[in-house]
Structure 1
Amino acid sequence: MEYVNPDAEVGNVSGVLGPARYLSHLPSISGDLPPGAWAFATDTDHYDFRSRRCVKDLTLRAIRGADGEEMEVEFQHNCWKHDQDLLIRYTGVSDFIVDPVDEGRGTNLGTVILDEILPHRDGCSHEIACWDGTLTLVCRDLQATWSETICSSKGRPRRRAATE
């Protein structure tokens, strides 16, 4: 990632997630990001670690359409933090890279650390850092949709009707 630092230092504490540099850079790229990417990147909850709509701690659940121009990446909530799952639809995909820490993991990248959306000549790039690897997509635009779930007493999610 260019601006988000997954291993920043704050005072004397190291290993802190650092989206501050990216957040301060966002206004300067406002006209360069496609509308859906801009809306998702600047959502006030996106980088608020206390928010139920923060991407941190979501788990990569599925990647669909990896061989085409339209893709979907689905993330499952963490019952201790979120009450919604996240689905991101990518249009005009021109590049798709899964970079696992361990080659044997495939697309099982685990829990999201943070992400970064930047302008690209094809629209935007979306890099998602997880504990077990990185997922990067280049696309014309993206649309992020949150859908409510209910955690059962056994910690398994049950879906509710989709919401924007």
Structure 2
Amino acid sequence: MKFVEADWDSELHGFRLDAGAYLAELPRLRPQLPPGARSFASDPEHYDIGGATRCVKDLELAGVHLAVDKSGGLVLEFAPNKWKHGSGLRITYSGVRHFSIEYEHSIDWMGVDTVLLDEILPAEDGGCLHEIVLTDASITVRCQDLEAVWGDTG
């Protein structure tokens, strides 16, 4: 990610998370983002790690659904963390040009991959780049736009 920090800190024996630089850039980036991405990134609770129910931190990756046709559709589902969220999150991407998940498999004491933080940047073609850092993996999606909906992901 370009602005958001979400890295393992061996001295702290935990993750160092900081969205401050991204939040400082967001007013400049916002007009360049497609409508759905702009709305999701601009949600005041998105980066409120201290307890907001619509903060992405601690959501659990629950499903990845790729379109089998050439429509460029992709859906990522995230289950709520029972200690923090009242509902899960479903992100539906349109016009997907790139999708990847890179696993590190270095943290073997966690049963599921959970979201640390994410970042949405404008792409040169008018779309966006969405990067999501998980506890043991990272997801990258290049698309035309996305729609993020909080609710039942089942």
* TM-score normalised by the chain length of structure 1: 0.80
Give the 3-state SS of the residue equivalent to 2:23 in structure 1.
Answer: helix
Find the aligned partners of 2:23 and 2:8 in 1 and give their Cα distance: 14
Please state how far the C-alpha of 1:66 moved relative to its aligned partner. Answer: 5.6
Taking a change above 3 Å as real, the CA distance of residues 135 and 8 of structure 1, as seen in their structure-2 partners, is closer
Closer, same or farther: CA 37–20 of 1 in aligned 2, 3 Å: same
Give CA deviations for 1:21-75 in whole Å, capped at 9, x if unaligned: 0000001112210000000001001000110110000000000016550110000
* Aligned mate of 2:76, from 69, 73, 78: 73
In the alignment, the residues of structure 1 paired with residue 67 and residue 131 of structure 2 have an alpha-carbon distance, to the nearest angstrom, of: 15
Are 1:25 and 2:25 counterparts? yes
Cα deviation for residue 136 of structure 1 reads 0.5
SS in 1 for 2:31: coil
Structure 1 residues 102 and 16: CA distance shift in structure 2, 3 A: closer
Question: Retained in 2: the 8 A contact 1:7–1:18?
Answer: no
- Measure the CA separation in 1 of the matches of 2:62 and 2:8: 27
- Post-superposition offset of 1:148: 5.0
1:131 and 2:132 are equivalent in the alignment: no
TM-superposed deviation, 1:8: 9.3
Aligned to 1:44: 44
Percent of aligned positions that are identical: 43
Which letter does structure 2 place at the counterpart of 1:77?
A: P
Matched residues in 2 for 1:62 and 1:148: separation? 13
TM-score, normalising length: structure 2: 0.84
1:121 Cα offset (Å): 2.4
Contact 1:66 1:96 in 2 (8 A): no
Distance 1:19 1:8 in 2: 15
- Give the 4+ runs in structure 1 shifted more than 3 A: none
Aligned Cα RMSD in Å?
Answer: 2.5
Q: Bigger radius of gyration, 1 or 2?
A: 1
